[in-house]
């Protein structure tokens, strides 16, 4: 087994165990949460060939572990011991700081991600692309509005980290906006560029 495949399996098994301990599900479904994690890792793998000088081994491990600190009992020390300090730092950057006010958490997280390697930028873009693929029909109008603004903020701050995933997220945001036009209202929908202006 090649080196990156061994690392992939180790990270996948670790994440699967941690998320299953709390019986975590993909929101709005009965699917185990590891399905979302694998979808994010798949999105990262799909873009590797489009990204020069991209560290696939590092990126895939971060993708598979990206929610372990935020959602499970996993500690930073545990990640550091199992996977090394650099991967632990990448996952930590992707983890919201719950000591801050909820309104500040996203921007703080994005600011920390911007200090990391481009592979960490790619992970959050891949995560948001995956999350926008299937939006629950039970989402409220307010949640849809909040999602549109959050994804557009992520795009505006991180699009320069990777052209491939930046373009993919931009397309998903525009599709999401068009699909929700009637529910949200035309004043809240626009292209990513228009939405960015409201956030700047």
30-73 pLDDT, tens digit per residue, is 999 999 999 999 999 988 888 888 999 999 999 999 999 999 99
Distance CA(109)–CA(190), nearest Å, equals 25
The pTM of this model reads 0.86
Report the chain's mean pLDDT, rounded to a whole number. 87
**Domain containing 174: what range?**
3-199
Domain with residue 65: its CATH number is 1.10.3210.10
Note the pLDDT tens digit of each residue in 122-177: 999 999 999 888 776 777 888 888 888 889 899 999 988 888 899 999 999 998 88
Q: For residue 185, name the pLDDT band (cuts at 50, 70, 90).
A: low
Number of domains forming the structure of the chain: 1
Contacts 24+ apart (CB under 8 A), 96-102: 96/70
Residue 87: predicted pLDDT = 97
Distance CA 123, CA 64 (A): 9
Q: What percent of the chain has pLDDT over 90?
A: 62
């Amino acid at each position: 087994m090649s080196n990156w495949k061994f690392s992939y399996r180790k990270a996948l098994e670790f994440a699967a165990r941690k998320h299953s301990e709390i019986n975590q599900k993909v929101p709005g479904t009965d699917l185990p949460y590891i399905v979302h994690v694998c979808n994010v890792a798949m999105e990262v793998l799909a873009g590797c060939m489009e990204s020069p000088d991209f560290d696939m081994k590092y990126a895939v491990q971060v993708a598979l572990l990206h929610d372990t600190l935020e959602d499970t009992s996993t500690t930073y020390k545990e990640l550091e011991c199992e996977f090394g300090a650099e991967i632990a730092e990448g996952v930590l950057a992707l983890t919201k700081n719950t000591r801050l006010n909820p309104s500040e958490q996203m921007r703080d997280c994005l600011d920390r991600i911007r200090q990391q390697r481009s592979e960490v930028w790619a992970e959050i873009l891949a995560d948001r692309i995956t999350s926008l693929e299937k939006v629950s029909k039970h989402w409220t109008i307010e949640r849809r509005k909040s999602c549109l603004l959050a994804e557009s903020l992520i795009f505006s701050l991180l699009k320069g980290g990777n052209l491939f995933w930046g373009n993919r997220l931009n397309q998903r945001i525009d599709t999401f906006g068009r699909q929700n036009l009637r529910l949200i209202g035309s004043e809240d929908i626009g292209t990513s560029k228009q939405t960015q202006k409201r956030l700047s």
